[in-house]
Structure 1
Amino acid sequence: MTAAPPDAPSVRSVVVDEPGEHRLVTGPQPQPGPGEVRVAVHAAGVCASDREVYDGTRAAGYVRYPVTPGHEWSGTVDAVGEGAVPFGPGEPGGTSAQLLGRKVVAEGFRACLRCDRCREGATSLCTSGYDETGFTRPGAFADSLVLPARLLHLLPDEADLRAAALLEPAAVVAAAVLAARPRAGERIAVLGAGTLGMLAVQLLAAHSPAELMAVDPREQRAEQALTMGATHARTPGAEDSFGGSGSPEGYDLVVETAGAPGTAHDACMLARRGGRVVLTGMFEPGSQGIDPVHLSVSQLTVRSVFGAPSAAWSYAVRAFGSGLLDPAPLITHELPLTAFGEAIGLVGSGDPTVGKVLLKP
């Protein structure tokens, strides 16, 4: 990012100086440097990770104060730095001028692209250290955002930017689906019907499962999953504690999205012998562990997902562009940038009627 000229217009951003302390600041509009673009933010989603940043409960090394949060967002490119060119499907050999005015989302991880993990395509496992928009770099709870053009994913001109703000969690879910390799006719369960769970239901429904069960203790959320592609929905019953899955043989695939203290354990109990489990929730220290005896005897395959590599982003953006993925029904609240405190309160309220909360600059 380069210095702003003296006559640059002012823009606003939310800054969390330290846990529990935030302010709305006004300063010169940021200018993109070489290889960078500036995006006018249309909408930015508030998630539990942003609440962790505000509360000070995010793990050490995964946030750098002071910080402008905001890692789920959509917007329009309004300035392009020298050498910033579009790339990706359908964009070979483009010019910087072709980026101006384009609707975009972007990957959050600032991977080095040089280490062995990056070279094999696992950019979310970059060995150069954790670096992510909204946590260690300025995020999208602001009027403008500057970032490397190489992280962009271009959206169709007719794309709904309000819904596109949810493509970051959709990319995380896409990473889980790519790891899970669902097959047509399988019996699948999704544990958790929050934002990640609902997006998982949509992407998994596209693989034509024989059964797609959504499980959530909030009856209203479980039932909403039926409108997103689930064939069945239920709340966990105290009488079974997931020891039986609701089906005698268990599920071929279980995707865990809740990150609650017991859901990693519960996901493994839902799976059939020889089944597959993918964990996407962010667990806190002290969560119930997976029983190694059950894991071994049942011969389960367990994968975990943290963030999303480029391939998962491409998958999510394609699914969104083709209409297979529609995050819009998950949005329940839209607030101005000045209402950051209220938005954080909603996300941490535990109210089952609160879905995705957006900040709109």
Structure 2
Amino acid sequence: MGKGGKSETEGQNGEEVTENMAAWLCGINTLRIQPFKLPPLGPHDARVRMKAVGICGSDVHYLKHFRLADFIVKEPMVIGHECAGVIEEVGSEVKHLVAGDRVALEPGISCWRCNYCREGSYNLCPDMEFFATPPVHGSLANQVVHPANLCFKLPDNVSLEEGAMCEPLSVGVHACRRASVGAETNILIMGAGPIGLVTMLSARAFGAPRIIIADVDEQRLSVARTLGADGSILVSMKSEDIEEEVNRIQHLMGGTIHVTFDCAGFEKTMTTALKATSSGGKVCLIGMGHNEMTVPLTPAAAREVDIVGVFRYKNTWPLCLEFLSTGKVDVKPLITHRFGFSQKEVDEAFETSARGGNAIKVMFNL
């Protein structure tokens, strides 16, 4: 949220609202529910009561390491960015929302002044203020104040939990757009974690006829098959197995691999992706497991395999909500664990998410 404010919010009529509480990341493996000061409501803002907030891998990484890549937590920060809630109050210039509307929140506030924003690539804005990316506060709170144009009204048949899932689903949708996935695109996905699974669901919604998914965890591959993967392959973490695994992947696909999504971002997964993808295809790097890696770029370039980067998303919420409301995408099976908003449950929820196993998406119901 990134804006300063008071310990209590005030309605437009000046009435005092109950003190706002949030889950603060205060140190490595230390979360505390403490008061969270909200800013005054601006004319183009909305005050939203949070109802559903999901835990992302980045949230867990900040909890365990107090940093993610070049983003370093230097002072206590409210966690959480996958969220949906109910409008409590809107600013004087907001016309498309009213109190009581259920909304999904896009968590990044771009500047709209830089060249990236002006050219439409607002996800690349260098001054982006993104929920729970230091030093910006997140959304695991009773209430947040957010720009109203980043609050998207939910269709009647889309739940608040599904609304919160628009954030991870947006990564898959943006990746499919970046890779130009369509009705003739055969897909390989490296990694069957939450992002790999939403990328698979997105690719299917975009019309991909055949999707193969690879992972080191058979339990996750089983989930992927349940959700509609056409084939799965259990791989190792050992680099010496790459050639044999590439052969198995290509045999399993039984044809051209047009696009590979690397949803893990490790040296081994990226090397496998570059080798497995057919000549003239694309490798789309989504995961950020390794900041630097040594991969066989020259052989891939000689086969005209393009490498496409993916960073967050842009203009995805309307399409995500259409996919959810029409049934083209069903994210409900991904929500495996639910917790309330007490100190004990917040700690348990993050432990569950960090442990992995059968936990795919851990969701708070506030």
TM over 0.5: yes
C-alpha offsets along residues 268-287 of structure 1, whole Å, 9 cap, x if unaligned? 1220111111111122335x
Deviation track 1:54-74 (CA, whole Å, cap 9, x = no partner) reads: 121313346563211111011
2:322 paired with 1:318: yes
C-alpha distance in 2, partners of 1:317/1:121? Answer: 21
Give the TM-score taking structure 2 as reference length. Answer: 0.87
For 1:265, the equivalent position in structure 2 comes to 271
Give the aligned partner of residue 17 of structure 2.
8
- Give the distance between the partners of 1:109 and 1:133, measured in 2 at CA: 6
* CA deviation after TM superposition for structure 1 residue 166, in Å: 1.2
Q: Deviations over 1:18-53 (max 9, x none)?
A: 333321114677652321111111111111100122
Of 32, 42, 56, the residue aligned with 2:51 is 42
Counterpart of 1:275 in structure 2 is: 281
**3-state SS in 2 of match to 1:196:** helix
The code of the aligned residue for 2:246 comes to: G
Rounded Cα–Cα distance in structure 2 between residues aligned with 1:196 and 1:138 = 23
TM-score normalised over the length of structure 1: 0.88
Q: Aligned partners of 2:61, 2:100: CA distance in 1, in Å? A: 33
- 8 A Cα contact 2:55 2:362, kept in partner: yes
1:306 aligns with 2:344: no
Q: Distance in 2 between matches of 1:164 and 1:220?
A: 26
Contact 1:334 1:359 in 2 (8 A): yes
The yes-or-no answer on 1:82 pairing with 2:87 is no
Q: Distance in 1 between matches of 2:37 and 2:185?
A: 54
299, 322, 335: which is aligned to 1:331?
A: 335
Taking a change above 3 Å as real, the CA distance of residues 267 and 29 of structure 1, as seen in their structure-2 partners, is same
Gaps of 5+ in 2: none
SS in 2 for 1:198: helix
Letter in 2 for 1:243: V
Q: Residue 236 and residue 181 in structure 1: after superposition, are their counterparts in 2 closer, same or farther (change >3 A)?
A: same
- 2-side partners of 1:270 and 1:123: how far apart? 32
Equivalent of 1:19 in 28, 33, 36: 28
- Can you list the C-alpha shifts for 1:70-125, whole angstroms capped at 9, x where unaligned? 11011111111222233xxxxxxxxxxx4321111122221111211111211111
Alignment partners' CA distance in 1, 2:297 and 2:266: 19
Equivalent residues of 1:134, 1:140 under 8 A apart: yes
CA shift for structure 1 position 241? 4.8
Structure 1 residues 54 and 192: CA distance shift in structure 2, 3 A? same
Residue 58 of structure 2: SS of its match in structure 1? helix
Match of 2:175 in 1: 176
| 2:359 is equivalent to residue 354 of structure 1 | yes
Amino acid at match of 1:291: P
Contact 1:274 1:298 in 2 (8 A): yes
Query: Which SS does the other structure have where 1:337 is aligned?
Result: coil
CA distance in structure 2 between the partners assigned to 1:107 and 1:48 by the alignment: 17
CA pair 329-213 structure 1, distance change in 2 beyond 3 A:
same
Report whether the alignment pairs 1:65 with 2:75: yes
Paired residues for 1:138-287 under 5 Å: 138-236=137-235, 238=241, 240-244=243-247, 245-247=249-251, 250-286=256-292
Q: CA deviation at 1:126?
A: 1.0
Partner in structure 1 of residue 132 of structure 2: 134
Alignment check: 8 A CA contact 1:41 1:74 kept: yes
Question: In the alignment, is the contact (CA less than 8 A) between 2:48 and 2:144 conserved in 1?
Answer: yes
Deviation at 1:186, TM superposition (A): 2.8
Contact residue 45 and residue 356 of structure 1 kept, 8 A: yes
Q: Sort the Cα spacing of 1:150 and 1:234 in 2 relative to 1 into closer, same or farther, 3 A.
A: same
From the superposition, tell whether residues 264 and 9 of structure 1 become closer, same or farther in structure 2 (CA, over 3 Å): same
Name the CA distance, whole Å, in 2 between partners of 1:276 and 1:27: 44
Shift of 1:148: 0.9
Deviation at 1:239, TM superposition (A): 7.2
How many equivalent residue pairs?
Answer: 346
Q: Which residue of 2 aligns with 1:99?
A: 98
Does the 8 Å contact 2:50/2:139 carry over to 1? yes
CA RMSD in angstroms comes to: 2.2
Q: Secondary structure at the match of 2:279?
A: strand
Contact 1:215 1:236 in 2 (8 A): yes
SS, match of residue 303 in structure 1: strand
CA distance in 1, matches of 2:301, 2:255: 17
